[in-house]
Each structure stands twice: as structure tokens, then as C-alpha cells.
Amino acid sequence: MSQSLAALENGGVRRAVHVRGFALLLLSFQALGVIYSDIGTSPLYVLNGIWPSSGPLPSEEDIIGGISAIVWSLTLLPLIKYVFICLKFGTGEGRGGTFALFQGLYPPKEHDPKFERSLTKESVGLASKTSSAKISPRLRWPVLIWCLLGTSLTLADGIFTPAVSVTSAVGGIAVAKTSIQSKVTPISIAFLLALFLVQPFGTARLASVFAPVTCTWLLLLGATGIVNIVAHPGIFRAFDPSRAVMLFVRTRDYDILAGVLLAVTGCEAVFANLGQFNMASIRLSFSLFVYPCLLLAYLGQGARLIRDGDAVFSNIFYRTIPGDANGPLFWILYVFAILATLTASQAMITATFSLVQQLVNMKSLPPIRMIHTSDKLQGQVFVPSVNWILMILIIVVVAAFKSSTALTNAYGFAVATVMFSTTVLIAVHMRYVAHWPMIVGLAYLVVFGFFDGLFWGAALRKIPAGAWVPLMIGVILMILMVFWTWAKGLEDAFDGANRHSLRRLIVTSPSSKDRQAEVLQVPQDDITARSDGSTTEETSHSEKVSAPTTYYLATNDSCTEKTVELQKLVRIPTCAVFHKLAGGKGVPHSFVAFIRQWPALPEVIIFLSARVFPIARVVPEGRYVVDKVRSVDGFYAVSYNLGFRQHFDVEVDEIIDQICMLEARDDPEHASQRIKQIRQAAVTTTHIVPGYHVVSRRHLGDGPVASLIDWVRKFLIESIYRPLLTMFLDTENWVRSPDEIIRVGVNATI
């Protein structure tokens, strides 16, 4: 068995971390800066989001009702829904979020059975059940569009989280220095600009301060909350859920929920970041630390608002800080508010980079250039184009909305939609992946869908007030992702369905009719020696015909002996990697086009198929699985296995090492000379990929409607997708130098 496959069979796939004692506490502490920085900064603006300072001062009962709504929203959604339910549906290392849930329902096809068995055996949670999900294929596109909508709104949320949190934190300076009120927006833009300008240098060192900053911030919130509660202990009536219900019955103000929603922004990160931590650390950190600190902060703000009224109403967070408005505690909290919001912004930016990488790997976005900024941490990825686009959009949003109050009107819609999307997908997972009774999934959908629906409806009412901005951005991104997924799927389907058999391409000794049957076979059909030493055909090794030394190219597609035309192929001492864009039988189009344009066979020929598995990362030992084609020397089929969050980087040297080990095991007595030839050939390695010229096929019959659909289809494929293919090359992120690539033209009717 090959080392790669053996590593997987023996547990090479990375599992969720299982730790106890001090290690669990340390992991829980590290989770603070990554997961809770967003939800932890919500107290800066929530109460003024519910009751804007430009409006009337709420009564005591209304304040208690509003705090009660916040308390129970934090209890029902982050605590019960995400921490105690959604985390159960973590499907392995790195799994979480709406797009990963889709991969669980519709896992990628054409995976190696041995690899799949080892993958599912060593994964955790529901990974072993993802391949048995029995959901109708006809629902694939509706579910995919739903997931992509949630994913696109998550990306849109990455614009408003830094804008709202940083502007709210900076705005506190106007409490102590009223003359600086007009400079809050420029100062906020300066902080955000600096944050984006440091992204190209990596965030590995900066990430080390995330947890201490967030931990100190939450402790300060809890401590000030306790002090403030003393001002009005009656605020504990907010733990009675009827106070929240009576608030809406009494005021009939549905818009209050849009402000309450701000208290739970960031709770989706609890589920999406499961792969970086584990279930126990997330539950421990939120239940015993984050949740109590947030409750104390909101209760304390409510207590001071009841007691001091108009004196604190203009900026409830900063004016309820105990002590003088210009005192030491105020400035301590102000500094940590800035640091906490920058931490939340950095966490959102990093998450956006990671999500874009995942979407590119799963072919739902064009291949955008990515840079890994850390040799130790695979998750430290920098996407230049996304970074600068985010920076421009966030600065424009801050400048356009001008105040944190206006920004909060736009904020929240994306959050509510993503939460509702997750609820629907989890309910589907309960039935089709976990195979729980349908009544359980329906009960979950009804209960949490009701609460998510309430918040979503309240956020929807904010569209005229600014929520149309994230909605517009999300819809545009969703359309782009749906279009690219559709078009790339057509291209991959063409690649898989129009493969050539080597039986029709390469023959040996053409003077003998009997030996014309002695031809090189398709790697997937005729591989006779796998990297584990096993055979895939019934015929034994001794019955195989010796590898011929002269090869000929059949220059037409006819398989009849009378009409076949042959052209001699010269063997050259180089290594060529022919990339297969999709799975399936047959040789890549790049190989066919290459040998027809340049009639030569490299000494080492590698057919490389890249396959993205529904886990975050595959360890190096399981990255490559090598198969040998025994019917001719020098032909190998290689499966390049990677997780959906991994950087696409083909290491030819590693493949050559495995090929040499395979040859040494296959024929120990005579392998030395062959290995020498392989390594000499590998000194000059060229990647050969197809350059598709896509043409739309006629899809429907005659008639005005069919003609219109065909015209639209042709416009999308030939006028939009074709130019984008030339702008975004598949080789952008996996070949170090363009000099190593030969791109051969292929006409593709899709």
C-alpha cells in the first residue's frame, strides 16, 4: 500500500481536536478572539439601535421589555440553537457554515473509494453519513441557490461589521470631547484604512493578541455591568420572557426587533468556526464566559438608562460607564473598545478570505489570485483583490452613512437571512444526513424558523432605510456565483463526456495487424498496478505484453484498421503533467491536443486529477495517490486530494518521489535505472492544460421561446463566460511560474 493511502487508512486525515483539562481551557481561551469578537462588540450600539437618541426616551417598562428581548434572543439563538444544536452537525474538521452544509447534502462525486472509506472512517460527527444523504438530485439547484444566497450575504456582512463596530467605538470620543464629534467619521476611516493596508503582511502575529484583547474587553463589560446593575436591581425582571412579549403587545412596534437583532450578530461564527476549535471549547467559552458577560453588560446598561434617563440616552454605552466621562475607566474602556472592534473587523476580513478560498476551490467563484502569508498556518491566506475591494466598499459605506445609527439600520439584514438559511439547512440535514425522524426536523424548523423569521421580517422593513445596500451586494454576488457554478459545471461536463480513449490514439508496431490491439489503455480502465501493489485487471502480470519501445499516433478518430492513419511519436526526456479538469474515464483533452500539435511523448507522463473533498484539509501524507499504467512505461495517473480550505499547489517533486517508490516496490531488481531516468526527466517539468474556446450548443427546439432561451444561453456563455475564462485562468494559484505552462487550445461546445 502506498504511503499516502496508508496514512489515510491509519488516521492521516485531520480530526477534530479532542482535549481535556488545561488544554481545553487554553483552546476555549483562543476561541474568544476568533469567534466572539463580533458578538462581543454588540453592546456598543444595540440599545441605541433599539431606541435611537433622536427619538423619545422609552419608559421603564419598555426598557425592561427591550432588555428581556435581548436576554432571550441571546439564550434562544447563540446559546440553544448554535451552541447546543448546530454544533452537533459539524461534519468533520473545518466543517461549518451554509456552504459546507450544502456539501454535506451533495458531496463531491467521483472520489476514490479507498480514500473515501478512510476519510469517513476517521472523520467526526456526521462525516460518515454525508455520502449516504438521499436527497433528490432535482433539489440540488434550489438548495445550492439558497446556500449561495446565504454565503453571499455573509460576504456582504463582511462590509458592514467593520463599518458599524469601528464607527460605534470611535464615536465614544465625542462623549468626552464634544468638539471632536465631526471628526468621528474621518478617524474611523483612518483606522479601517490602516487595518486593510497591513493585510498583505499577514496576520499571524496580530492573531496572537485577539484572545487577550477580547477576553479583557468582555471582563470589562461584565464588571461595569455588575456596577451598573446596583443602580437599579429591578432590571432582573428582564429574565421574565413575558416582559418582552408585553413590550410588543403594548407598543405594537415591530421595528424594535431590528435593534434586538444587533445583539446576536456574529452568532453564525459559532458554527462556521467549528473546524478551528472543537465543540467542547466553543460550548465552554460561550456558556461560562461570553454569555454571562454579555447578559451583565446589557442588564447594566438597562439599569442605568432607567435611573439616569436623558443623561445617558445620547450614547448609552459610553455614558453608562461608571465614573466621570473623562475618567480613567472611560479611557480604558475606550481603548479596549477600539482594539475589540479592530479585532472583530480583522476576524471578519480573515473569514472572508477563507470563504472566498473555499468558494474558488469548489468552483463557485472564478480562480482569484491568493497568497499564503504563513508557512505554518494553512488558514492564513491573503486575497489581494478581495482585500482592496472590501477596503473601498467599507470606506464608501462609512462615508455615505456618516453615523453608527444610520449604519445599524443597514446592518442586520444579512445576518438575519444567513441565520434563517442555516435553520432550513440544518432541518434538512436532520432528515437526510442524520436520518432522524422527519418530525424532529420539522419541529426544529418550526421553532427556530419562527424566531429567525421574526428577525428577518423586522430587518426586511429596514430596506428603505439602508438595508438595501447589503441586499444588493448579496444578490449581485449570488448571481455571479450561480452563473460561474453553472458555466463551470457545463465545461466540466464537456471535459468528462468527451474524453478520448488511448485505444484510438496510440498504437504500436503498425506492421502487424495482430499487435494493433496492443495499445495503451485509458488510465482509469486499464491501470494494472496501483501504488499499493495490487492489480485492477483479472489478467496477471506475466500475461501482460511487454511495453513497446515505438509508439504511433492515430491521426484520425477511426478505429477500423483499413482507414487508420499513423504518425510516429518521438520519446523525449522530459516530464509532462496533463491536467484533467473533471473526473471520468479517458485521457485529458490537453493530452490529445498536445500530441496532435507536437507528435512526441515525454519520458514521464502524469495524468493529474484534482479532487476537493468535503473536509477542510487533507494532510500531506494523503495528498497524492499514484497509479501506474503498466502497458507502457512512464504513464501514471495521479489523484491530487485536497480539502476545500486548502491552497491548490501541485508539488511535482512529491509526485516524482512517490512514483520512484512505486517503481522500486514494483521491480526491486531493475528499478535503479528506471528511477534514474524518471528523475532526469523530471528536471524539466511542464504543466499542460487545455485552453477552452467555449461555444454554446443549441439547447432547445424551434419556436420563439426556445430561440430566445438559446440566444440568452449563447450570450451568457460566449459573451460573458468566454472572456472571463481568459481573465481568470485555472492555473492562477497552483503553478508558480507561467513559464512552466503550455496551454493547448480545445474547442468546447457546451
Interatomic CA distance for residues 505 and 52, integer angstroms: 74
Distance of alpha carbon 739 from the chain centroid: 30
Reply yes or no on whether the pLDDT at 457 is more than 60.
yes
Instruction: Check residues 748 and 562 and name the one with the higher pLDDT.
Output: 748
Mean pLDDT of 207-220: 89
Please choose, from the candidates 356, 358, 384, the residue with its C-alpha nearest in 3D space to the C-alpha of residue 371. Answer: 384
Mean pLDDT of 384-396: 94
Sequence-distant contacts of 137-140: CB under 8 A, at least 24 apart: 140/106
Which of 437-446, 585-594, 729-738 has the least mean pLDDT?
729-738
* C-beta separation of 551 from 601 below 8 A: yes
Interatomic CA distance for residues 7 and 605, integer angstroms: 25
Strand, coil or helix: what is 135? coil
Question: H/E element holding 529?
Answer: strand 529-530
pLDDT for the residue 26: 86
pLDDT for the residue 2: 36
Please choose, from the candidates 110, 121, 93, 107, the residue with its C-alpha nearest in 3D space to the C-alpha of residue 5. Answer: 121
Q: What percent of the chain shows pLDDT beyond 90?
A: 39
* C-beta separation of 31 from 110 below 8 A: no
Identity of the amino acid at 656: I
**Residue 547, Cβ density class (10 Å: 0-12 exposed, 13-18 middle, ≥19 buried):** middle
Q: C-alpha cell of 398?
A: 462609512
With bands split at pLDDT 50, 70 and 90, how would you rate the model's confidence at 700?
Answer: low
Interatomic CA distance for residues 551 and 555, integer angstroms: 13
Which of 36-40, 139-143, 561-565 has the least mean pLDDT?
561-565
The secondary structure of residue 76, as a DSSP letter, is I
Q: How far is CA 189 from CA 102, 194, 320, 349, 395, in A?
A: 37, 9, 26, 16, 6
pLDDT for the residue 581: 65
The secondary structure of residue 239, as a DSSP letter, is G
Mean pLDDT of 427-441: 91
pLDDT of 104-149, one tens digit each?
788 766 444 444 433 333 333 333 344 456 688 888 899 999 989 9
Residues whose CB falls within 8 Å of the CB of residue 315, separated by 6 or more in sequence, listed in order: 48, 53, 171, 172, 174, 175
pLDDT of 302-342, one tens digit each?
999 999 999 999 999 999 999 888 889 999 999 999 999 99
In terms of DSSP H, where are the helices of 433-497?
Answer: 438-460, 468-497
* C-beta separation of 168 from 45 below 8 A: yes
Instruction: Check residues 658 and 539 and name the one with the higher pLDDT.
Output: 658
pLDDT for the residue 292: 97
CA angle 539, 541, 546 (to 5 degrees): 110
Mean pLDDT of 718-745: 82
Q: What percent of the chain shows pLDDT beyond 70?
A: 81
pLDDT for the residue 81: 95
Which of 386-390, 393-397, 478-482, 646-650 has the least mean pLDDT?
646-650
Which of 75-84, 294-303, 485-494, 565-574 has the least mean pLDDT?
565-574
Reply yes or no on whether the pLDDT at 605 is more than 50.
yes
Interatomic CA distance for residues 507 and 556, integer angstroms: 12
pLDDT for the residue 133: 61
Mean pLDDT of 568-597: 82
pLDDT for the residue 62: 96
Reply yes or no on whether the pLDDT at 269 is more than 50.
yes
pLDDT for the residue 132: 52
The secondary structure of residue 645, as a DSSP letter, is T
Reply yes or no on whether the pLDDT at 99 is more than 90.
no
With bands split at pLDDT 50, 70 and 90, how would you rate the model's confidence at 579?
Answer: confident
Reply yes or no on whether the pLDDT at 163 is more than 60.
yes
Reply yes or no on whether the pLDDT at 548 is more than 50.
no
* C-beta separation of 214 from 32 below 8 A: yes
Q: C-alpha cell of 520?
A: 495503451
Q: C-alpha cell of 497?
A: 463526456
Instruction: Check residues 116 and 674 and name the one with the higher pLDDT.
Output: 674
pLDDT of 508-545, one tens digit each?
764 444 343 333 333 333 433 344 444 343 333 444 44
pLDDT for the residue 533: 40
Highest average pLDDT, of 3-12, 365-374, 444-453, 721-730, comes from 444-453
Q: How far is CA 532 from CA 13, 528, 607, in A?
A: 18, 11, 18
* C-beta separation of 696 from 717 below 8 A: yes
pLDDT for the residue 744: 87
* C-beta separation of 593 from 740 below 8 A: no
Instruction: Check residues 409 and 118 and name the one with the higher pLDDT.
Output: 409
pLDDT for the residue 306: 96
Mean pLDDT of 465-473: 89
Highest average pLDDT, of 512-526, 569-583, 735-749, comes from 569-583
* C-beta separation of 130 from 107 below 8 A: yes
pLDDT for the residue 375: 53
pLDDT for the residue 373: 67
Strand, coil or helix: what is 277? coil
Q: C-alpha cell of 137?
A: 438530485
Average pLDDT, the chain: 81
CA angle 348, 93, 134 (to 5 degrees): 105
Which of 235-239, 337-341, 441-445, 733-737 has the least mean pLDDT?
733-737
With bands split at pLDDT 50, 70 and 90, how would you rate the model's confidence at 736?
Answer: low
Residues whose CB falls within 8 Å of the CB of residue 67, separated by 6 or more in sequence, listed in order: 235, 238, 298, 299, 301, 302
pLDDT for the residue 614: 61
pLDDT for the residue 545: 40
Interatomic CA distance for residues 590 and 572, integer angstroms: 18
Which of 121-135, 180-194, 276-290 has the least mean pLDDT?
121-135
Q: How far is CA 600 from CA 201, 572, 607, in A?
A: 45, 7, 16
Reply yes or no on whether the pLDDT at 487 is more than 50.
yes
